Structure 1
Amino acid sequence: MALKPTIFKFIISLSDLDRDYYDTLHLTVAQHPSESTERMMARVMAYCLNAREGLIFTTGLSTPNEPDIWQRSLDDQLLTWIDVGEPAFERIKKASRQASEVKLYSFNQKSEVWWQQEQAQFRRLPISVMRFPWPAIQSLAALVERSMVCSVSISEGTLYVAAKLGEAEIPCSLLQG
C-alpha cells in the first residue's frame, strides 16, 4: 500500500518589499512521503519569493517531468519553472528550453558542494540560482504546524517569518542570475 502525502494548510500574510507585492496567500501543500519538512518549507519560501497570479505547486516529487512550482499562460505555455534542491544539469537544460524563466533554490547541507561541482555547466544557461542556508531552513522547519498562520516579510533578499511557534530569518543568496 502506497503512503499518502501529508497535507499542510498555510495562511501567509506576505509583504515583499523588494517587489512591492503584498497579498494573503492561502496555500495547501502536499508533503510527499519521502520529502523532509525542510524541503517542503524551502518550496514554500520559493513560492513566497515568486508569488504572483497563476503560480502553483505541481505534483513535484511524484512527477519527475514537472518542477516543484510553475506558472502557465492562459494558452498553457510554460512561463516559469521553479525547482527546489540540487537538480541534474540535463533536467534544467531541458527546462530552460521549455520555460521563459527558470529558477533554482538550493537549500540543504550539500548545497555548497553541489554548486562548486555544477556551476560551470549551469553558467551556460539563462537561469537564476539561489541558495537558502541549511541552518536557517532547519530553524524554519521547527516552526511548522499542519495548519499554520504566519507572516512573511521579504526585504533585500531575506525572508523574515513570524509564526505561532517563533520566528526565523532566511537569507536568500543569489549564486547566478
Structure 2
Amino acid sequence: MALKSTIFKAQLQIADMDRSLYADHSLTLARHPSETDERMMMRLLAFSLAVPADTDRGSLDFAAGLSDTDEPDLWQKDLTGSLVQWIEVGQPDDRRLAKACGRAEQVRIWSYSSSTPIWWSGIEGKVSRLANLEVWRIDAAESQALAALAERGMQLQITVQEGTVWVGNGKDSVSLEPRRLKEIQTRR
C-alpha cells in the first residue's frame, strides 16, 4: 500500500523590504512521504522569496516536484500557459537545468545540503552559459534550523532586509543568509 502525503497548512506574513513586497498568503503543502521537513521548509522559503507582488503574469504555485520528474517544486505560469518561473529545491543535474532554462523565462535553484560545494563545483562550468539560471545556497545549519519550525499548522512571519531572511513562528526564529552562486545574466 502506497504511503500518502502529509498535509501542512501555512499562514505566511511576508515583509520583503528588498523587493518592497508586503503580503499574506495561506498555503497548503503536501509533504511527499520521501520528503523531509527540511526540504519542505526550503520549498516554503523558495515560495516566500519568489512570490510575485501581483498575479498579472500568473500566480506562483507548488508543482508536483518529487512526484513528477517533468515538473519543478514551484512554478509560475502566465495566462497563456508559458512558464515564467521554474523553481527547484536541491541539487538537480546540468541536463535538467538546461531543459528547464529552455522552457522558462527564469530558473531558480535553492540548494541547502552540506554537499552543495561539491555539487556546484561539478556543474558550475556546464551551466555557466545558461543566462536565465539563478542558483542560491542556504547553509546546511540554517536549513536544519528552519526545519525545526515545521508544524502541521504554521503561522510564520518572514522578513527580508538587505539580503538577510528572518523566519519566525511567534516563539522561535531563524536567521538565514542566502548566498548567490550564479545570477541571471542580463542581456545588453
Identify the residue that residue 5 of structure 1 maps to in structure 2: 5
Superposed CA offset, 1:100-156 (max 9, x none): 111111111111111111111111111100111110010111121100111000112
Pairing 1:90–2:88 present: no
User: Is there any run of 5+ residues in structure 1 with no aligned partner, and where?
Assistant: none
The residue that corresponds to 2:40 in the other structure is 40
Quote how far apart the aligned CAs of 1:165 are. 4.3
* 1:89 CA drift (Å): 0.6
How many residues in Structure 1 have an aligned counterpart in Structure 2? 177
What residue number does 2:118 align with? 113
Distance 1:101 1:66 in 2: 14
Scaled by the length of structure 1, the TM-score of the pair is 0.97
Give the partner amino acid of 1:80: Q
8 Å Cα contact 1:143-1:165 kept in structure 2 = no
CA distance in 1 between partners of 2:78 and 2:113 (Å): 31
User: Match of 2:19?
Assistant: 19
Give per-residue Cα distances to partners, 1:18-52, cap 9 Å, x unaligned. Answer: 10001001111111110111111111111100012
Code of the aligned partner of 2:86: W
> Is the deviation greater in 60-69 or in 107-116?
107-116
Matched with 1:51 is 51
Instruction: Give matches, 1:139-158, under 5 Å.
Output: 139-158=145-164
> Is 1:77 equivalent to 2:77 in the alignment?
no
Tell whether 2:160 aligns with 1:160: no
CA contact (8 A) 1:10 1:28 kept: yes
**SS of corresponding position for 1:100:** strand
CA RMSD of aligned residues (A): 0.9
- Note the residue ranges of structure 2 that are not aligned, 5 or more in a row: 184-188
Give distance in 1, aligned partners of 2:80 and 2:134. Answer: 25
Which letter does structure 1 place at the counterpart of 2:95?
E
- Distance in 2 (CA, whole Å) between partners of 1:84 and 1:144 is 17
Q: Which amino acid in the other structure matches residue 122 of structure 2?
A: Q
